[in-house]
Amino acid sequence: MARILITSAIPYINGIKHLGNLVGSQLPADLYARYMRGRGNEVMFICATDEHGTPAELAAAKAGKPVAEYCAEMHEVQKELAAGFRLSFDHFGRSSSQRNHRLTQHFAGQLAANGLIREVTEKQVYSIDDGRFLPDRYIEGTCPNCGYESARGDQCDNCTKQLDPTDLINPHSTISGSTNLEVRETKHLYLCQSQMRERLEAWIDSKTDWPILTTSIAKKWLHDGDGLQDRGITRDLDWGIPVKKGEEDWPGMEGKVFYVWFDAPIEYIAATAEWADANGLDEAAWRRWWRTDEGAEDVRYVEFMGKDNVPFHTLSFPATIMGSGEPWKLVDYIKSFNYLNYDGGQFSTSRGRGVFMDQALSILPSDYWRWWLLSHAPENSDAEFTWENFQASVNKDLADVLGNFVSRITKFCRSKFGEVVPEGGAYGQAEAELIAELTSRSRAYEEHMEAMEIRKAAGELRAIWVAGNEYLQSAAPWATFKTDPEQAAAQVRLGLNLIRLYAVLSRPFIPDAAATMMAAMGCDDWSWPGDIAEALTALPAGHTFTVPEVMFRKITDDEREEWQTRFAGVRD
């Protein structure tokens, strides 16, 4: 039994996320967690809400609430939506937790003691109209490198060049739109990433199995321009983790907080500690996942994230871990994703363009969305959600293939043999060929899941469903029954056992449908199939079952057109 630690990029607190956010980290992480649990491994799946920084302050102000109250409410909203999509977190924490306060301050103290933090008196952009220093992402202007007109103060999304706000041409405040900006002096702390460049590069070079997307982004940041730069880790804000060296005050840093991108990844560790606290466990319970001197040396740590988060997780967070000089667990594999676009354009949180998580669950069950998103995951390139494609995938894959198989075999059995697995007959050449195909495809499915090749895994799973349909169509037990009822019984018995097999294999992708199939078969044996022939005898003759309701309803053309119109507009 392996021990697998899984984290997905933690969603920001300011509002409900769209489907592009979901498929870029949390949903594929859940797929992998469910699969690994199904194979009998010990899994710790951690996520949280990312609650600090200016966006949280502004969203709270817009809602007319204190920022702490707003974050607490939105944490519950996001937690409920995660449950609605059946995301099986072991713990869904909060970056504003006291655990994260203490751990972030601890790491800062260790880094300072190791000479990896320096104080810098710098010039930052101050918005006179807003009455505040502007964080990097609240300044936009023209990129001096590529000319992109909507570059942010920390990075250009077009060419991915790392920037400082003062680099921008014609900058303006994204809070008010004001160009009434001036540069003022302020003192901040910087993480000396440049001192760790060679160590980080050697570590990244050792990860020969990482996706090209992950390593290419990391190396771009290591080598572009002047190479890896030192990074500011504090901000002039009210809401956040106060700057301290462990438990000690940090002279000159009074009134400042740690930068959200410094404290947010540390929350992965803190949330695991929160899990232990919530379950009444001791410190050893969470440290065995994170401290290599306390049991984590045999843990495989896998992170899931969109490509925009890769630089911080391949460079800044590892620099924090390494630079502490303590035996903390480093990530073993980073599964990164490209973007999911929406119907000819982009999802837009500000304009409400596209489908958001709450809206999705209001019109269809989570399995419909899970199947489409995972089977179209933007792994090797950007992907695009279209309503036509979504309708076709749901209707063909889920309704016509899987749902139809379950309905046909259970209803036929009920009509001829009753709601019981029939006895009699024996498997012949057709059944042997089916078992051979299912054996080959299930092994391929497992290989793709182990390698986190999500679209390929979905393709194999669908092919496994199709194989059952093709067998049923070819064997035609409804015709066989007229001349050889015992052989028809064997064919039906195999079909009913296929439903249980489908439940087990499909559970990581569509957990609710899997539970429906398993319940209909009157079974609670979720053991992963080793030998497929043996797995297809799990339901013996005489075992009772029920005929489930329609598992997947088809999406009509009228519904598709109505939804396409509804989610194209601007959301208030």
Cα separation, 331 vs 7, in Å, equals 10
3-state helix, strand, coil in the chain (%, to 5): 50, 15, 35
pLDDT tens column, 519-558: 999 999 999 999 999 999 999 999 999 999 999 999 999 9
The answer to whether the CB of 325 falls within 8 A of the CB of 545 is no
Give the tokens for residue 518.
Answer: 């398993």
Task: Write the secondary structure of 39-79 as one string of H (helix), E (strand) and C (coil).
Answer: CCCEEEEEEEEECCCHHHHHHHHHHCCCHHHHHHHHHHHHH
Q: Which residues make up each annotated binding site for ATP?
A: 349
The answer to whether the CB of 14 falls within 8 A of the CB of 56 is yes
Whole-angstrom CA distances from 559 to 85, 188, 353, 363, 549 are 21, 54, 18, 10, 21
The answer to whether the CB of 189 falls within 8 A of the CB of 231 is no
Phi, psi of 247 (to 5 degrees): -95, 0
Q: Which residues make up each annotated binding site?
A: 143, 146, 156, 159, 349
Comparing 125-134, 181-190, 209-218, 479-488, which segment has the lowest mean pLDDT? 125-134
Mean pLDDT of 72-84: 98
Q: How big is the CA angle at 461 (ends 458 and 463), to the nearest 5 degrees?
A: 110
Mean pLDDT of 100-118: 98
* Residue-by-residue DSSP string for 6-47: EEEPPPBSSS--BHHHHHTTHHHHHHHHHHHHHTT-EEEEEE
Give the tokens for residue 224.
Answer: 């572009």
Q: Rg of the Cα trace of the chain?
A: 27
pLDDT beyond 90 at 300: yes
Handedness of CA 163, 166, 169, 174 (dihedral sign): positive
pLDDT score, position 524 = 95
Mean pLDDT of 50-75: 93
pLDDT score, position 115 = 97
Mean pLDDT of 229-242: 92
Q: How many CB atoms lie within 10 A of CB 40?
A: 10
Mean pLDDT of 163-178: 90
**Angle subtended by helix axes 485-506 and 454-475, to nearest 10:** 170
CATH architecture of structural domain 389-535: Orthogonal Bundle (1.10)
Mean pLDDT of 217-223: 93
238 pLDDT tier (thresholds 50, 70, 90): confident
Task: For residue 190, give the 3-state DSSP assignment.
Answer: strand
**Among candidate residues 394, 405, 396, the one with its CA nearest the CA of residue 370:** 394
Cα separation, 158 vs 145, in Å, equals 10
Cα separation, 336 vs 377, in Å, equals 11
pLDDT beyond 70 at 403: yes
Percent of the chain beyond pLDDT 90? 86
pLDDT score, position 160 = 82
CA 116, distance to chain mean position in Å, is: 32
**How far separated are the first and last CA of the chain, in Å rounded?**
49
pLDDT score, position 572 = 41
pLDDT score, position 347 = 86
pLDDT score, position 341 = 94
pLDDT score, position 171 = 93
Give the tokens for residue 473.
Answer: 């169509």
pLDDT score, position 237 = 87
Highest mean pLDDT of the ranges 73-82, 217-226, 425-434: 73-82
Q: Which residues make up each annotated binding site for Zn(2+)?
A: 143, 146, 156, 159
The answer to whether the CB of 189 falls within 8 A of the CB of 253 is yes
- Does residue 115 come out as left (phi exceeding 0), alpha (psi in the -120 to 50 range) or beta? left
pLDDT score, position 570 = 58
Mean pLDDT of 83-108: 98
Mean pLDDT of 155-159: 88
Give me the residue spans of the domains in the chain: 389-535
Cα separation, 487 vs 425, in Å, equals 4
Mean pLDDT of 112-123: 94
Highest mean pLDDT of the ranges 56-70, 126-140, 158-172, 506-520: 506-520
Q: How many CB atoms lie within 10 A of CB 116?
A: 22
pLDDT score, position 49 = 97
The single-letter code of the amino acid at 74 is M
Mean pLDDT of 40-52: 97
Whole-angstrom CA distances from 343 to 300, 346, 371, 563, 567 are 37, 8, 18, 12, 10
**Among candidate residues 262, 263, 244, the one with its CA nearest the CA of residue 253:** 244
pLDDT score, position 569 = 64
Mean pLDDT of 3-10: 97
pLDDT score, position 571 = 44
164 pLDDT tier (thresholds 50, 70, 90): confident
Question: In which element (H, E) is residue 358 found?
Answer: helix 357-363
pLDDT beyond 80 at 223: yes
pLDDT score, position 131 = 84
What torsion do the CA atoms of 553, 559, 561, 562 make, to the nearest 10 degrees? -150
Task: For residue 172, give the 3-state DSSP assignment.
Answer: strand
